């Protein structure tokens, strides 16, 4: 590990652990439970898709041009069955995981202290990355609560 990447490498490890937990949570939810929820929002398919899509948006090269309509639905308003299947959600997770890993591989520690160039909303790139980790983990916690409520196994802590 380079002295110029020790913090960046820690961020990379945390993203990878988060994605492993998300993958396991999705895998632990059987197809017959994937589109069910106690509320419109607390549907495993919706929680997982939103967390993954938000990470994709936040860490995309050009958030202002992000294609929110790529999948043909509004994740907040659509019926649960319009959301991607578990298999398709896992494929989307793999895609986003690889994109973000590639982006993080290009960074050095000094970049984390620099300005948040993708959005300009956060004061530094580190703020933005931590936000994405927190946001994803928040929805992963909701997904885990839904698994627990249904008597299904939680993802193993990473």
Give domain status of residue 157, yes or no: no
Give domain status of residue 97, yes or no: yes
CATH number at residue 21: 1.20.120.450
- Is pTM beyond 0.75? Reply is yes
Contacts (Cβ under 8 Å, ≥6 apart) of 1: 9
Number of continuous H segments (helices) and E segments (strands) in the chain: 6, 0
Give domain status of residue 80, yes or no: yes
- Tens digits of per-residue pLDDT, 103-120? 999 999 999 999 887 677
Domain count, the chain: 1
Cα separation, 74 vs 67, in Å, equals 12
Contacts (Cβ under 8 Å, ≥6 apart) of 77: none
Say if CB 80 and CB 37 are below 8 A apart.
Answer: yes
67: containing domain? 6-149
Give domain status of residue 42, yes or no: yes
Cα separation, 137 vs 129, in Å, equals 12
- Tens digits of per-residue pLDDT, 50-109? 999 999 999 887 777 888 889 999 999 999 999 999 999 999 999 999 999 999 999 999
Give domain status of residue 73, yes or no: yes
């Amino acid at each position: 590990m380079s002295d110029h990447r020790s913090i960046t490498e820690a961020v990379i490890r945390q993203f990878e652990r988060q994605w492993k937990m998300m993958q396991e949570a999705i895998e632990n939810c059987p197809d017959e439970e994937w589109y069910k929820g106690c509320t419109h929002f607390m549907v495993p398919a919706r929680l997982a898709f939103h967390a993954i899509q938000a990470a994709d948006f936040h860490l995309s090269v050009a958030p202002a041009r992000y294609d929110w309509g790529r999948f043909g639905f509004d994740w907040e308003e659509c019926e649960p069955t319009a959301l991607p299947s578990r298999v398709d959600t896992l494929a989307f997770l793999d895609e986003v995981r690889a994109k973000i890993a590639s982006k993080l591989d290009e960074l050095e520690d000094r970049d984390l202290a620099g300005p948040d160039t993708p959005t300009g909303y956060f004061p530094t790139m580190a703020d933005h990355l931590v936000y994405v980790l927190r946001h994803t983990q928040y929805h992963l916690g909701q997904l885990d609560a839904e698994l627990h409520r249904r008597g299904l196994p939680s993802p193993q802590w990473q």
